[in-house]
Amino acid sequence: MAGFQDIIGQEQIKEHMRNALTTGKVSHAYIINGEKSSGKEYIAKIFAMALQCEKGGTEPCQECRSCKQALSDNQPDIIRVTHEKPNTISVDDIRAQVNNDVAIKPYSSPRKVYIVNEAEKMTVQAQNALLKTLEEPPEYTVILLLTSNVNSLLPTILSRCVVLNMKPVADEAVKKFLMRQMEVPDYKAEVCVAFARGNIGKAKALASSEEFENVKAEALSFLKYVGEMELSEMIAAIKKITEYKLEINDYLDIMAIWYRDVLLFKATNDVNHLVFREEIQSLRKTAQHSSYEGIENVIEALEKAKRRLDANVNFELTMELLMITIQENS
């Protein structure tokens, strides 16, 4: 299935798009802004399908020729802008695939829909080239810019587009999706929901990721025994962590959620709202041996470690400083 009713959450965006389809007041340019894996591409695909659907209406019928072509990514009037360089959409990419193409009338549909994914990768020159089309678009043109960083787009681009911001999906809705659609067990769904923070794509990826399970197991093993470790053993653990360098934010998130569980259990003595409640014995032990101030120091140190890594501070130094803070407060 591929219709607005299949999108989880994002009620404001769905309402806006349905209203545009109902009234026929479709803008020439939209920006869909949201973090990676939040479902921007899926929403853009459904909106493009609905715009081109031969039956009209607020939902793509999925039965007409246009919808069937769109479902198999073969609709000639839905154009996905591609780029050879992985981190850059160049001025040549925009000129060749948008500016030079837009003057050609639709092949078989009422409109031509251009989807530019990762629009934040457009160079300033590429954005200025696109601006020429946005200033005087042919009547049949709709451009969908998908981005995870709306601030990377020029103010002149923003002023000519309708900006639609993705919102985090409610935890309960994400959990229900994982359990019903992906048949993920209850306890695993809760862990994925805690990490995804309202990002449905990330929740799906985590639920089916063997690598995430390995990272989680490694982190929990470390956290259970960190209070009994010597610094030399902790340094050895750091070296083990380097194997997961690409998933280090997941590793740090696991640690942060663990310490939030410790703090919550210490304050309430209630197991029901803990993410890692299957590890209650270890959580109870950590809570007994840690002060409120110590737990908060560790949570703050984890956030600081993430900021340092984002700023490209040396990985091993960052992790060593973090481990020392954990040891001092365990």
How confident is the model over 243-297, as pLDDT tens digits? 665 567 777 888 888 898 889 998 998 888 888 888 888 888 888 888 899 999 9
Do residues 86 and 226 share a domain?
no
Q: Of the residues 146, 165, 184, which one is the last residue of a structural domain?
A: 165
Do residues 151 and 256 share a domain?
no
CATH of the domain at 221: 1.20.272.10
pLDDT > 70 in the chain, percent: 97
Total domains, the chain:
2
**What pLDDT does residue 245 have?**
53
CATH of the domain at 135: 3.40.50.300
pLDDT-derived band at 68, boundaries 50, 70, 90: very high
Do residues 295 and 215 share a domain?
yes
Do residues 45 and 161 share a domain?
yes
Give yes or no for a contact between 123 and 90, defined as CB atoms under 8 angstroms apart. Answer: yes
Q: How far apart are CA 167 and CA 36, in angstroms?
A: 12
Pairing of strands 141-147, 78-80: unpaired
Has residue 63 been placed in a domain? yes
Q: How far apart are CA 228 and CA 12, in angstroms?
A: 50
Do residues 27 and 152 share a domain?
yes
**What pLDDT does residue 122 have?**
95
Q: Locate tokens 């470390």: which residue?
A: 222
Do residues 139 and 225 share a domain?
no
pLDDT at 330 over 80: no
Do residues 153 and 81 share a domain?
yes
Distance spanning both ends of the chain, measured CA to CA: 50
pLDDT-derived band at 21, boundaries 50, 70, 90: very high
Q: How far apart are CA 4 and CA 288, in angstroms?
A: 49
Has residue 54 been placed in a domain? yes
Has residue 175 been placed in a domain? no
Number of CB atoms found within 10 A of residue 230's CB: 9
**What pLDDT does residue 249 have?**
74
Has residue 187 been placed in a domain? no
Q: Of the residues 147, 165, 183, which one is the last residue of a structural domain?
A: 165
Has residue 99 been placed in a domain? yes
Do residues 21 and 145 share a domain?
yes
How confident is the model over 22-49, as pLDDT tens digits? 998 999 999 999 988 888 999 999 999 9
How confident is the model over 179-192, as pLDDT tens digits? 888 888 887 888 88
pLDDT at 107 over 60: yes
pLDDT-derived band at 97, boundaries 50, 70, 90: very high
| Residues in contact with 291: Cβ distance below 8 Å, sequence separation at least 6, in sequence order | 329
pLDDT at 237 over 70: yes
**What pLDDT does residue 244 have?**
62
Which is more confidently placed, 138 or 278? 138
Number of CB atoms found within 10 A of residue 267's CB: 11
Q: Of the residues 113, 135, 165, which one is the last residue of a structural domain?
A: 165
Do residues 219 and 131 share a domain?
no
Instruction: Give me the domain span that covers residue 319.
Output: 209-328
Q: What are phi and psi of 273, to 5 degrees?
A: -100, 10
Which is more confidently placed, 187 or 61? 61
* Mean residue pLDDT across the chain: 87
**What pLDDT does residue 270 have?**
87
Strand partners, 29: 143
Has residue 184 been placed in a domain? no
Q: Which two tokens stand for residue 52?
A: 């081109």
Has residue 195 been placed in a domain? no
Closest by CA to 30, choosing from 167, 160, 168, 149, is 160
Do residues 223 and 317 share a domain?
yes
Has residue 97 been placed in a domain? yes
Do residues 122 and 247 share a domain?
no
How confident is the model over 224-234, as pLDDT tens digits? 877 777 777 87
Do residues 25 and 95 share a domain?
yes
